[in-house]
Amino acid sequence: MMTSLPLESPSFRAPALIRNPHVQTLLPRVLRPLALKWRGEWLNLPDGDEVELCWVAPEPRDNTAPILVLFHGLEGSIASPYAAAILGTACRMGQRALIMHFRGCGSRPNRRPRAYHSGDTGDALVLLTELRRRYPQAPIRLCGVSLGGNMLLRLLAEPDSQHLDITSALVISPPLDLAASSERLSRGFSRIYERHLLKSLKRKVMPRLARGELPLDVSVEQVARLRRLRDYDDIITAPLHGFADAEDYYARASSGPVLDRITTPTWLIHAEDDPFMPPDLLQRFPERAEQLKVEVSRHGGHVGFMQGRGWRCSSWLTERTAHFLAG
């Protein structure tokens, strides 16, 4: 059943001195938390590729202990600041915590001539099916951040996810409208983020193009000249993953249009001042499933949500994750 639900404001309140959206977005990267201790595992995929899993230590001995799986954002990893906030919280609560790196985001390049994108749910389904096989009695909760949040919402809207018996999901700062987010990143100060992300993407794809590993009619020189994420998606992401162009990719991979199909209890957290997205993002998708709870704060930036003062700032996401995991 779908309904147009009112937006609920969370308990997060940004202190005045760090209320600016860019300060909120960048502060977690300046005040980096302690690194997590983890063990790695390479999960083989049906098409011959692989993704890297990182299991946070210490791991519970009880095979029925709850599991939290984190799906990171664009070019994210176990080293992303939010990983420590989210996975570290689960570990301290005695739960099994792991992150699935998207293809090519682990400690070595992926094998197949492809990468990952915002609507690519297949690898997550493989992982979750394997987790359900290994831990048949364990509650499984999922968390998706930014791109990983968009992917997770699309996954939860698919019929194939229903047999996995997912307990609940937490989604943080998802770009529900990929075209609008791409446009927002190309304007003003947000171009700083676009340049950073584009640099990381180009650094990975250019050597693969030079070695002839990718089935693309694109030269290294063309990629080097790219200045917008949309252009990258147009000549790399889209053709590499079966889309006609960037517009087709954005339309088919955005999660906003499928929010009414979600049947798993899901908690979506968003900041109105997110510099990666237009201010009216959530208003564009008023029809949402009753199982989807949407919380919006006035401030918080993109996956920021920092509270406290000065160097004593801390991530509010730690508190929200604990509340989420407590059920």
Active-site positions read: 146, 274, 302
For residues 36 and 88, is the Cβ–Cβ distance under 8 A?
Answer: yes
For residues 107 and 32, is the Cβ–Cβ distance under 8 A?
Answer: no
Question: Cα(112)–Cα(104) distance, rounded to whole angstroms?
Answer: 10
Candidates 275, 72, 117, 271; CA nearest to 191 is 275
Query: DSSP letters along 107-125, please?
Result: SS--SSS----TT--HHHH
Question: Cα(21)–Cα(23) distance, rounded to whole angstroms?
Answer: 5
Question: Cα(177)–Cα(183) distance, rounded to whole angstroms?
Answer: 10
Question: Cα(25)–Cα(148) distance, rounded to whole angstroms?
Answer: 17
Helix, strand or coil, per DSSP, at residue 70: strand
Positions of E strands within 7-114: 38-44, 50-56, 67-71, 96-100
Question: Cα(303)–Cα(85) distance, rounded to whole angstroms?
Answer: 11
For residues 141 and 93, is the Cβ–Cβ distance under 8 A?
Answer: no
The conformation of residue 212, written as its DSSP 8-state character, comes to T
Give the H or E element holding residue 314: strand 314-315
Question: Cα(71)–Cα(68) distance, rounded to whole angstroms?
Answer: 10
The conformation of residue 237, written as its DSSP 8-state character, comes to I
Q: How many H-runs (helices) and E-runs (strands) does the chain carry?
A: 11, 12
For residues 289 and 171, is the Cβ–Cβ distance under 8 A?
Answer: no
Question: Cα(25)–Cα(55) distance, rounded to whole angstroms?
Answer: 26
